[in-house]
Amino acid sequence: MSFFSKVFGGKKEPTAPSTAEAIQKLRETEDMLIKKQEFLESKIDNEILIAKKNASKNKRAAIQALKRKKRYEKQLQQIDGTLSTIEMQREALESANTNTAVLTTMKGAADAMKAAHQHMDVDQVHDMMDDIAEQQDVAREISDAISNPVAFGQDADEDELEKELEELQQEQLDKELLGIDTTTDELPAVPTSVPVAPSKTRTSNYYYNIINFLYIIKMF
C-alpha cells in the first residue's frame, strides 16, 4: 500500500480468516464440487444413451451427443483435480490446526507448572521432607511407649519364688505321707477301737506298727 493510500485512507487489506473458518470453507467447496461431479456423471450417462439410440438412425445427433459427453468428461476430470488439491489443502490446515491446539495446550500446561513452582524452593522442600520424617519418628516413639505395659514396682526375685514353691511342694508331700487330706479342713473321725495286729512274722509286725503309728497321728 502506497504512502498516500495510508494517509488518505486507502482500501484496507482483508483480514485473513482463521484456520477453522478456512477449513469450513474448503469443506463447503468440496461438497459443492462433489454434487457437480454427480450432475456431470448423470449427463454423461444420458449422452451415451442418446448416442446409442441415434447410432444407426441419426448419425449427426449421435456424434453431437458424443462431443457433449467428451466436454462433460473433461469438466469431470478438472473437478477431480480440483478436489484433490482442496483435499490436500484441507488436510494440511487440519494438521496445522491440531498442532496449534496441541502447542497451545502444552504452553498453558508449562505456564501452570511454572506458576505452581514459582513460590517453591528446592531447599524448602527438602527441609519440609526432613521435618515430616522427624515427626514420623516422634510419632513412632510415642506409639511404642504407649504400647509397652506399665511396670508397677520391681518383679520378685525368681530364686525366692522357686524356694517358696519348693517349700509348698515339700509341705504337700509331707501331708500326703502322713495321710492328711489337704482338700478339707475337717478333722478325721476318732476310731472306736484300735485294730489288733495279727500274730505273724516279725516283718509283718513291723509294717503293722508303722501303720498304727500313722493312723494315731492322723487322729490328732
For residue range 149-191, list pLDDT tens digits in order.
Answer: 655 455 557 788 778 878 888 888 888 787 655 555 554 554 5
Q: Which of 122, 145, 178 is the last residue of a domain?
A: 122
Would residue 8 count as lying in a domain? no
The pLDDT of 63-79, averaged and rounded, is 94
132 occurs within a structural domain: no
43, burial (CB in 10 Å: exposed 0-12, middle 13-18, buried 19+): middle
| pLDDT > 50? residue 117 | yes
CB 72 within 8 A of CB 47: yes
- pLDDT the model gives residue 33: 95
Domain count, the chain: 2
In angstroms, the CA 12 to CA 3 distance is 13
Q: Are 33 and 86 in contact (CB under 8 A)?
A: yes
Q: Is the pTM of this model over 0.75?
A: no
Using alpha carbons only, what angle is made at residue 16 by residues 11 and 17, rounded to the nearest 5 degrees? 130
Amino acid letter, 152: F
Q: Clarify whether residues 112 and 171 are in a common domain.
A: no
What is the residue type of 88?
M
User: Mean pLDDT: which of 5-9, 136-140, 190-194, 197-201 is highest?
Assistant: 136-140
| Domain match, 36 and 93 both | yes
What average pLDDT score do residues 9-32 get?
Answer: 81
Residue 123: exposed, middle, or buried by beta-carbon count in 10 A (0-12, 13-18, 19+)? exposed
Q: Please tell me the least confidently modeled range out of 18-27, 78-87, 170-179.
A: 170-179
Residue-level pLDDT at 194: 46
Task: Give per-residue pLDDT as tens, 180-204.
Answer: 555 555 545 545 554 444 444 444 5
32 and 101 together in one domain: yes
Q: How far apart are CA 92 and CA 84, in angstroms?
A: 12
Q: Which of 36, 20, 21 is nearest to 83 (CA)?
A: 36
Are 26 and 93 a contacting pair, CB within 8 Å? yes
Angstrom distances, CA of residue 65 to CA of 44, 49, 62, 75, 91: 9, 9, 5, 15, 39
10 Å Cβ neighbour count for 86? 16
Q: Give yes or no: residues 118 and 171 share one domain.
A: no
Q: Which three cell numbers stand for residue 143?
A: 506409639
Question: Higher model confidence: residue 120 or residue 197?
Answer: 120
Is 197 within 8 Å of 208 (Cβ atoms)?
yes
Question: Is the domain of 104 the same as that of 196?
Answer: no
**Same domain membership, residue 26 and residue 105:** yes
- Per-residue pLDDT, averaged over 40-48, amounts to 95
Domain boundary pick from 88, 122, 156: 122
| Domain of residue 93, CATH code | 1.10.287.1060
Decide if 154 is inside a domain: no
Q: Which domain holds residue 199?
A: 167-219
